[in-house]
């Protein structure tokens, strides 16, 4: 239980931290937030309630949830000067790049509440992040499509407000789709935390230097951007579109992946650093995908391709022997596409979901008296000592 494991390279890799937030058993496919199984939370909780659980450690009482929700609602507005911030980006700026810049910029508007050791300042920064990131995310999308940015409507729920700011226009009232709200709320909940993944470890590492919460979360957004991490949900859709444009021959694509001639050709949305079994979130997302896409007048052919890919991979020795199963990213993109999001917004939706987890993990780290500044060591394999050679002799 010292968190020490000896890797096959012979050197000991110590656990990166001690945490009581999220538990994963990769072999059994178990995921729990503060002890509660993800399946129960997905079915019976909401994103904000589970966010409170991750951040504060317990499920909220009705009064605590009401206070958390209303404090978030009353901080959804961005400073007017921040709205002009978006004018500086090119129209084709990737929303993840806009999101990480804007989150970092929040620290310039709230310089009075950046002290990581002042609990009140940490609390208001937590509320401001939970409240303003959906507004920033929707503005990044509006900027990309040249539509006006809508002010938040505090009479709406968290997900409703985000969908309205993203897809609403001033000219006509926005009609809330309760199924889209319910499914997106669950998807955000499924992404809310995942112990020490790449982006969360980044948030903890940056925060370990006592950098403020906004700066640490902005670093986490950048880590999540990569296609091997949160960017995979966008890469899955692009992969399915390539297969479709190439005639829809799934077996041919799978052979290309197995040939590994092109190392970049991976089965995106498959495999995981920890899960060597079916990612429990993927099973819940697949069910939601079938529900949402099943309602569509015109079925999405990419869903059929995805299910064919899954079926082939789960029975193919190459994938089975390497314990490669669908992960949380394999089906999410199909749902986001059905909701009207462009592929460039998929990873932003992942960030929206992961936000409470980043905040909870940063708070746990900063409050842990054992926390020291992150300073990983290395195995040096370079030259031994040698003398400087003057340029004339090189």
Cα(4)–Cα(113) distance, rounded to whole angstroms?
Answer: 37
With CB atoms as reference, the residue minimizing the distance to ligand SDX is 271
**Catalytic residue ranges:** 272, 329
Residue showing tokens 């059905």: 338
Sign of CA dihedral 67, 72, 77, 79: positive
Q: Give the nearest distance from C-beta 20 to ligand SDX in angstroms.
A: 17
The binding site for ligand SDX (CB under 6 A) comprises 194, 197, 228-229, 232, 257, 266-274, 322, 324, 327-329
DSSP 3-state of 31: strand
CB contact set of 157 (below 8 Å; sequence gap of 6+): 181
Sign of CA dihedral 218, 224, 227, 232: negative
Cα(228)–Cα(64) distance, rounded to whole angstroms?
Answer: 37
Q: Give the nearest distance from C-beta 283 to ligand SDX in angstroms.
A: 14
Q: Give the nearest distance from C-beta 329 to ligand SDX in angstroms.
A: 5
Q: How far is CA 166 from the centre of its chain?
A: 18
Nearest to 134 by CA among 379, 349, 357: 349
Q: Give the nearest distance from C-beta 13 to ligand SDX in angstroms.
A: 14
Q: Give the nearest distance from C-beta 236 to ligand SDX in angstroms.
A: 7
Alpha-helical segments (H) within 35-173: 38-44, 47-56, 62-73, 80-85, 95-109, 119-145, 158-167
Nearest to 163 by CA among 394, 367, 365, 339: 339
Q: Which of 63, 264 has the CB closer to ligand SDX?
A: 264
Beta pairing class for 4-6 and 12-14:
antiparallel
């Amino acid at each position: 239980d010292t968190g020490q494991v000896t890797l096959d390279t012979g050197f000991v890799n110590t656990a990166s931290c001690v945490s009581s937030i999220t538990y994963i058993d990769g072999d059994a496919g178990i995921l729990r937030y503060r002890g509660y199984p993800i399946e129960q939370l997905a079915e019976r909780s909401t994103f904000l309630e589970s966010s409170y659980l991750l951040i504060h450690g317990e499920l909220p009482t009705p009064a605590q949830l009401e206070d958390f929700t209303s404090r978030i609602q009353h901080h959804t507005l961005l400073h007017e000067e921040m709205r002009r911030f978006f004018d500086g980006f090119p129209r084709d700026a990737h929303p993840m790049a806009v999101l990480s810049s804007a989150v970092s910029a929040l620290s310039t508007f709230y310089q009075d509440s950046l002290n990581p050791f002042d609990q009140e300042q940490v609390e208001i920064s937590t509320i401001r992040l939970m409240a303003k990131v959906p507004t920033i995310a929707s503005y990044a999308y509006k900027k990309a499509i040249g539509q006006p940015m809508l002010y938040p409507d505090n009479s709406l729920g968290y997900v409703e407000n985000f969908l309205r700011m993203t897809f609403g226009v001033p000219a006509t009232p926005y009609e809330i789709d309760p199924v889209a709200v319910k499914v997106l709320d669950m998807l955000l909940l499924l992404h809310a935390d995942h112990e020490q993944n790449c982006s969360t470890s980044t948030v903890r590492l940056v925060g370990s230097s006592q950098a403020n919460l906004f700066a640490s979360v902005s670093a986490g957004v950048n880590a999540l951007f990569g296609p091997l991490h949160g960017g995979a949900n966008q890469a899955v859709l692009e992969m399915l579109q390539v297969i479709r444009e190439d005639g829809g021959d799934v077996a041919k694509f799978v052979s290309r992946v197995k040939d590994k001639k092109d190392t970049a050709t991976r089965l995106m949305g498959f495999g995981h650093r920890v899960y060597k079994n079916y990612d429990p979130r993927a099973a819940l997302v697949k069910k939601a995908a079938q529900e949402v896409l099943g309602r569509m007048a015109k079925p999405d052919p990419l869903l059929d391709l995805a299910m064919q890919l899954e079926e082939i991979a789960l029975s193919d020795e190459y994938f089975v022997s390497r314990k490669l199963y669908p992960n949380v990213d394999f089906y999410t993109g199909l749902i986001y596409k059905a909701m009207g999001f462009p592929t460039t917004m998929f990873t932003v939706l992942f960030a929206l979901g992961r936000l409470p987890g980043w905040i909870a993990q940063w708070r746990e780290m900063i409050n842990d008296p054992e926390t020291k500044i992150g300073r990983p060591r290395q195995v040096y394999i370079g030259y031994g000592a040698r003398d400087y050679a003057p340029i004339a002799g090189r």
